[in-house]
Amino acid sequence: MSQTQGKPRTVEALEDLLKDLGVEEQEQGVVQLLLEYAHMFSRVLLQNATVASDMAGNSVITASDVRIARTLSEHVIEKMPNSLLNIIEEVNSRKLNAQKSSSPMPAEGVLMVEPNYCVKPNSFDNRNTNFTCFMAKVVFVLGPPGCGKGTQCRKIVENYGLVHLSAGDLLRAEQNRPDSPYSKLIEQHIKEGTIVPVEVTCKLIEKAMNDDSEAPGFLIDGFPRNKNNLDGWCETLAAHTKLQFVLYLECSMDVCIKRCLSRNQGRDDDNDESLKKRIKTYQESSMPIIQHLATLNLVRKVDSSKDPEQIFQQIEEIFYKDGSFKRKL
């Protein structure tokens, strides 16, 4: 199956599926239902590590797989009609029967799933977001306070041209904006070392990404910080983005605390009491997310206890192997 430039593989497979069924282009209802199915199923895979692991080597979605998925997500139950089960089962069966059993590749046109964030087509479903119609490549940058996320993101921006979006910086800027409806709320969470509600953070990230829609990609550091953050991302932003990988800057707590107390950036939460709360929050809420994303083979670990140049050398190797972003000349 030839792939049209810029078109997600899942969408192209769906178009082939529709042709097999004799569905006319003007029957937008069927097209949208199928696209909704593909998007929701990708969310189920992401949010359920066991299912994702079991299906990682199986690129064909069967009706049985869908029934399993439906038990795991109310969104799939609500939005995917039973008739799609028969459609998918019929077409996949027909394709597989035509394929030689010895072939390592899936049959042409069979519905594909990647255990990752699938990009939902720009024209479809704008109910939960005000996102401009573009598809953004994203790298999450995660790690404990003081691990060097900001320093390394600046180096990545300088060498690869990505836009750096720090969830913390966005929240602090919003806190200081005179007419912000979230100012007091953000201030309270920052002082207490707790996580700001995901609805606020996602709105700020969404706006920042729209402001730089021509960027080759986005580095989002300090997000997602917990399961609620990840769920919020899936609800509002995952549909219009492609998560390439997660940079995890691993560092001991002793080194992180020493760095935070010595950096003198004027942050309200760079004090001993707030740091202890932030580190506790990170260990209890953020590490499980990193571990979960690692089960999906998305995490790229970096030893960030070293000096900045040595850390960046590790990151450059990761970017080179991934191949999604070109280094500046």
List the binding residues for a ribonucleoside 5'-phosphate.
172, 194-196, 222-225, 267, 278
Specify whether the CB–CB gap between 269 and 193 falls below 8 A.
yes
SS3 content of the chain, % helix, strand, coil (to 5): 55, 10, 35
CA distance 41 to 152: 34
DSSP string, 303-314: ETTS-HHHHHHH
Q: Helix H segments across 48-99?
A: 49-55, 63-70, 74-79, 83-97
| Residue 129 CB neighbours (<10 A) | 16
Task: Specify binding-site residues.
Answer: 146-151, 172, 194-196, 222-225, 229, 263, 267, 278, 306
Please return the burial class of 30, using the count of CB atoms within 10 Å of its CB with bins 0-12, 13-18 and 19+: middle
- On the question of a cis peptide bond just before residue 115, with omega within 30 degrees of 0, the verdict is no
Question: What does DSSP assign to residue 65?
Answer: H
Task: Specify binding-site residues for CMP.
Answer: 229
CA distance 194 to 218: 25
Tokens 């996580």 map to which residue? 195
Which helix (H) or strand (E) segment is 167 a member of?
helix 167-176
Of 21, 1, 26, nearest to 12 by C-alpha is: 1
Specify whether the CB–CB gap between 109 and 20 falls below 8 A.
yes
Three-state SS at 159: helix
Task: Specify binding-site residues for ATP.
Answer: 146-151, 263, 306
CA distance 14 to 104: 21
CA distance 253 to 231: 27
Q: Are strands 163-166 and 136-142 parallel, antiparallel or unpaired?
A: unpaired
| Residue 4 CB neighbours (<10 A) | 10
